[in-house]
Structure 1
């Protein structure tokens, strides 16, 4: 049946998987993120979530796209569609509207006024020029007025401020669901959803989007989950966190299971279920395929057997899966890439993505995806807002009054952005003030000549004189100091570079297969750093490279590709880490990554018994062990490597002086990769000066939301809800309290406030064994909350911890 469709999944993750499949099959579909608010009176939503929801709901109103939601989102009413349409702004060259009225309207739509328009949801006004960044648009709009008349419309690049293209019409929809509806201006934004629902201004999603049919994925699971969500919602309202009037208003912001059933009762519905008690209208007799988990030989055998049985077999592949085709051809399996109908006994390679394959015996059809072939589904990251943001050293972080340094003219004071006409052409210029009130106007296309002033005390800054020689003399003195230090350090490292190392060969087919096994999409920085690492390893000079990147940016994966390359040349690798917990974490991750390859991985730490350590040392000396993960124990006199080819040091700055001296001796003639999120100044300076090679991971994974940080007064209601929300979605929590003397008191308070939550604690005065045992137990999921001092910064990476509460953060 033709008609606008709404798809409902039990959870957001299952909905996201189905949405990806719809997109892969060419269907126009949008995914609505779940709305999360704390009911304790504290605003706890994510700015990025608001923008994504606003973009999706606008698309629902303007198109016939299929909407995919979780059951939780379906039960959350939204502001009536008529308000979205009435508040929407449309501009063309015939528009006439006072600028003051436009800015008021943008604020009502949820946009935030800022000095420059850099991020989604921002708008700025300079004279008669209005810039606004609309959710869903790649570039912000620049709208120029002449009085109340609109003069020009164009897109511009926020990085360079240059125009991208001229447009004839601009439609500005909501930036947030929390729009300023007439009569509710006095209410805080965080309670807008509740106010809409309580005053009859909201409606269900089915009515909002005019959906003509519903598709339920696992309806029984959906309704069971909604019952749990609603029961917990009522418990929170009755817990005394909310005042009585607030609780009454909040109760309207989530539909009960009974009301939701009534809401969808009149809509034609298709229900999908794995199990059905009665007779189904449609029976699909397919079954799941086994997972081959990277074992191409078993896959080839299954393909061969089904080919003989006359199955039509299709393999969905990605852009980087050419190695699979090469392997199958090597197994004398003929595969095709045609676009005609698949014939009996044919094996067809098709570029695309689905979350899971299937086997249909009666129709003799088999569809294989990455999940069956490799044991996981590699997905392309969903675009999140924030990709157009810039690093902190961007010029547009400057504000009038900040000091800047011009490469030719020296230190000046930034006064702001202004427009000037030069040779009949209007342009944007930066106004810089110098000594004696001299001014320099710099066009925006010359931004590369300017940097922010980074001196320690801006109050003592002396402005340079335009045209004077003082700035030139300062540059010459600085250059001499740099030359002297460089000479000293270069002499130190020249002795190391004179050593001859091992030149690794080019990548093997297994190397390409191993890299293809990575279950995530690499960032551009990761791919660049891997190439830099391999290029160094293939040289005869010993590598000495520093890899810098924030936590979670993928440093370990870069290192593992180097470790794998070393193993392919029968060279051993040592991965040094500062703590036992980190050693255990690396050991487990590396074993999982190498499980399909004949590479033996061992760990040297106190978690091994004396007997196990003795055997490991023998295997390391004989070459039976390929990769060793170890703490300072791996630097002992009794540790002898058969043929060490690569040394990877994680957080080198955390090792002691004696350990660093042993590391320095070990480095001679061995390729070395140091990894750190926070390198010590000397190490970083040597890398920036090209004495040590430097690779930087600037890009976070594209599917990671920015961290949301909130500062509030101590509130037991907020604390309890933040912990419960995280634990209910399967996560864990850090609670940071940095006074060991009072930790027992804080622990008792947390246990009274959260009796149903498992809480453990650690601090620096515990003995090492007890501390590490507690942290390992927390990592294994044996407790929900870890009360700790700041010692957790020592590199323990637990992906399941998504919330951190810091008491007395000052």
Structure 2
């Protein structure tokens, strides 16, 4: 590690080879030396999936030190202004071009597309400062040239809007849009605001607006991403399987060239990549290039695959402790550690292990992709998904997508004249479009709502939260309210009264239900814990809460009455399987009722797959079973030979 740190501080161009690194060890090594490192650091992996897993590891280990992901793929053919590839690349170019240094992870294929020169981006970046004299007409014309789309309201990067003396701009490289207020041709104030609520966040003295990287003036200055980084700051190149990178780049460039709709468009070739990378400090692991200046040999081995064999894991842990190793389990959920402790308590009764798990296995609240053991410094890193045999899903959050939650603005854009809407104070009316009106000497956009007798109500964009799309019975035409009348107020009061009566009836119903005796199921068994731990996906926060609530209901002495709601694919069936197995563990039989013949069969297969290896017998009844099969199933049910 010291030798690697010295090599990074050295100004000499060299190629350092890191040997015998397994699992997530390269990310740990990089995180250790990057804590105080300056300049740009580019990590190049073999594939997009490898790159995102490495990005997740590095981001988790370097908490507080921003790590960027440079996406692979061509964004040119997408007409979506919220294209994540375009936005991701623009964000990285802006951060790396600042000269302050950046840590970037990417796949080799992402290097094939050329990027605008740093100077060209700087020259095309719009800067606004309070007190500046600028013509709004000139700015609007320039934004159109820079591929910004004019809209009524901005809620996505690459958009701008004008309302009187207010100019809203959502830059291609900023998390939130800017609101610039003009007084004539003078910039009076600048602030960021939330695209969802339209409320201000912070006041700024100046801002920079980055254009689309595909405007013609920028594309004429195209250069490789490596050259772009080198022009901004000293750049260190970290490459996995450096011997394979030139071939991967050549193959991807040939594919892009063949698919390109622009004749003569250039892409990075393998020779240029080798020439430009040879001028940088390189750190390589995996398959090294032909020439390496210095080799640093580590001594790591990958984490074993335990396949939910907890006895095997505890045996290895026991041996590891005897050999003087420190053991860590990396997990982003404490629940998995608790499950492991519960399973260990059960296994310990049947084994000769004399250590305490809390002391032998130290939990770290971070997620890494793959475990490993370092034999030199005697450290073992385990992952919860490696022990429990779960699928480890990578996470690539696109912060720009949060603007898609801007339901008020998006629904407004989707509304058509004649659609029914409801105003919280004035009742049901018909949407009559948008209109520019003068408010306090400034022209701004307002929503028009038509009421009974053609009365008109104008709603400012700042009051959109008081309006919603009308929802009622399908094909039912609602009655329009009259502005100024008491009808809407009276209806709201009546509705409140009816809701109070309904609530009173429900309270009485639940009180009677609460008084009924029920069966109190036992606390979770070892097998229940093992079943839940073996779920191949990470539980969502909602699944964790729903599972806990269901089990709490089951363990109470009153009948359970609970509805689990969720979209398709959000894990409702998994909660049902856990509840069913908990009942079976207490010698109860479980009936699962499905609405269709096919769904009954699908649930049979799902339950059978999840409960494979557990002492639980499952069968199914539907109209495709023969009379003799149905008779046999009913007989087994009566004899308690079928559990679910």
Q: Normalising by structure 1, what TM-score?
A: 0.60
Which residue of the other structure, out of 276, 282, 293, is the alignment partner of 1:269? 282
Contact 1:6 1:68 in 2 (8 A): yes
SS in 1 for 2:302: coil
Structure 1 regions of 5+ residues with no counterpart?
A: 183-195, 338-345, 628-810
Spell out, residue by residue over 1:728-774, the C-alpha distance to the aligned partner (whole angstroms, 9 max, x if none).
Answer: xxxxxxxxxxxxxxxxxxxxxxxxxxxxxxxxxxxxxxxxxxxxxxx
The whole-number CA distance in structure 2 between the counterparts of 1:434 and 1:483 is 29
Alignment correspondent of 2:21: none
Alignment correspondent of 2:23: none
Q: Which has the higher contact order (CA 8 A, sep 6+)?
A: 2
Shift of residue 204 of structure 1? 0.6
Structure 2 regions of 5+ residues with no counterpart?
A: 1-7, 10-38, 349-353
The whole-number CA distance in structure 2 between the counterparts of 1:73 and 1:178 is 16
**What do you get for the CA RMSD once the two structures are aligned?**
4.9
Shift of residue 86 of structure 1? 1.6
Shift of residue 525 of structure 1? 4.7
SS in 2 for 1:102: helix
Shift of residue 70 of structure 1? 0.9
Alignment correspondent of 2:423: 406
Query: Cα gap change, 1:477/1:375 in structure 2, threshold over 3 Å: closer, same or farther?
Result: closer
Shift of residue 53 of structure 1? 2.3
Kindly tell me the number of residue pairs found equivalent between the two proteins.
586
SS in 2 for 1:282: strand
- Stretch of structure 1 that moved more, 507-516 or 383-392: 507-516
Shift of residue 207 of structure 1? 0.7
SS in 1 for 2:227: helix
Spell out, residue by residue over 1:519-573, the C-alpha distance to the aligned partner (whole angstroms, 9 max, x if none).
Answer: 5455555455545655655573453636241x33333334344334434444344
The whole-number CA distance in structure 1 between the counterparts of 2:262 and 2:210 is 31
Contact 2:513 2:559 in 1 (8 A): no
Is 1:351 aligned with 2:387?
no
Shift of residue 349 of structure 1? 3.1
Query: Cα gap change, 1:466/1:373 in structure 2, threshold over 3 Å: closer, same or farther?
Result: same
The whole-number CA distance in structure 2 between the counterparts of 1:511 and 1:444 is 53
Shift of residue 74 of structure 1? 1.1
The whole-number CA distance in structure 1 between the counterparts of 2:132 and 2:411 is 30
Is 1:214 aligned with 2:231?
no
Spell out, residue by residue over 1:302-334, the C-alpha distance to the aligned partner (whole angstroms, 9 max, x if none).
Answer: 111111112232222334244157449845534
The whole-number CA distance in structure 2 between the counterparts of 1:410 and 1:431 is 14
The whole-number CA distance in structure 2 between the counterparts of 1:614 and 1:275 is 67
Which residue of the other structure, out of 49, 67, 82, is the alignment partner of 1:29? 67
The whole-number CA distance in structure 2 between the counterparts of 1:34 and 1:287 is 30
Is 1:323 aligned with 2:338?
yes
SS in 1 for 2:207: strand
Is 1:205 aligned with 2:225?
yes
Shift of residue 481 of structure 1? 12
SS in 2 for 1:545: coil
Contact 2:159 2:170 in 1 (8 A): yes
Spell out, residue by residue over 1:592-620, the C-alpha distance to the aligned partner (whole angstroms, 9 max, x if none).
Answer: 54457555555668999999999877665
Contact 1:214 1:267 in 2 (8 A): yes
Q: Normalising by structure 2, what TM-score?
A: 0.74
Spell out, residue by residue over 1:448-502, the C-alpha distance to the aligned partner (whole angstroms, 9 max, x if none).
Answer: 6533234799998774322335556877999999999999x99x99999999764
Query: Cα gap change, 1:456/1:371 in structure 2, threshold over 3 Å: closer, same or farther?
Result: closer
The whole-number CA distance in structure 2 between the counterparts of 1:7 and 1:318 is 24
Query: Cα gap change, 1:460/1:348 in structure 2, threshold over 3 Å: closer, same or farther?
Result: closer
Alignment correspondent of 1:308: 322
The whole-number CA distance in structure 2 between the counterparts of 1:573 and 1:228 is 56
Contact 1:8 1:70 in 2 (8 A): yes
Contact 1:434 1:464 in 2 (8 A): yes
Spell out, residue by residue over 1:688-738, the C-alpha distance to the aligned partner (whole angstroms, 9 max, x if none).
Answer: xxxxxxxxxxxxxxxxxxxxxxxxxxxxxxxxxxxxxxxxxxxxxxxxxxx
Alignment correspondent of 1:167: 204
The whole-number CA distance in structure 2 between the counterparts of 1:249 and 1:517 is 53
Alignment correspondent of 1:389: 404
Alignment correspondent of 2:165: 128
Contact 1:22 1:28 in 2 (8 A): no
The whole-number CA distance in structure 2 between the counterparts of 1:595 and 1:469 is 64
SS in 1 for 2:296: coil
Shift of residue 37 of structure 1? 5.4
Is 1:82 aligned with 2:119?
yes
The whole-number CA distance in structure 2 between the counterparts of 1:152 and 1:598 is 69
